[in-house]
Amino acid sequence: MINIVLFGKPGAGKGTQAEFLKGKYNLTHLSTGDIFRFNIKNDTELGKLAKTFIDNGDLVPDSVTIQMLEAEVEKNADSKGFLFDGFPRTIAQAEALDAFLNSKNQKVTATIALEADDEILVQRLLERGKTSGRADDQDEEKIRNRYQEYNEKTAPLIEYYKGQGNFYAVNGIGLISEITERLSLIIDKL
Ligand code: AMP
- Domain coordinates of the chain in residue numbers? 2-182
Distance CA 183, CA 48 (A): 35
Kindly state the percentage of the chain with pLDDT values over 70: 100
Q: Which residues line ligand 1 (CB under 6 A)?
A: 10, 32-33, 36, 53-54, 57-60, 65, 86-89, 93, 136, 146
The residue count for the chain = 190
Tell me the mean pLDDT in the region 139-143.
93
Query: Residue 128: what pLDDT?
Result: 94
| CATH no., domain 2-182 | 3.40.50.300
pTM over 0.95: yes
Instruction: Name every residue whose Cβ is closer than 8 Å to that of residue 58 and which is 6 or more positions away in sequence.
Output: 145, 149
Distance CA 116, CA 118 (A): 6
Closest ligand 1 atom to residue 57 Cα is: 10
pLDDT for 54-95, tens place per residue?
999 999 999 999 999 999 999 999 999 999 999 999 999 999
Q: Distance from the CA of 89 to the center of ligand 1, in angstroms?
A: 8
Evaluate the CA torsion angle 62, 65, 67, 73 in order and state its sign.
negative
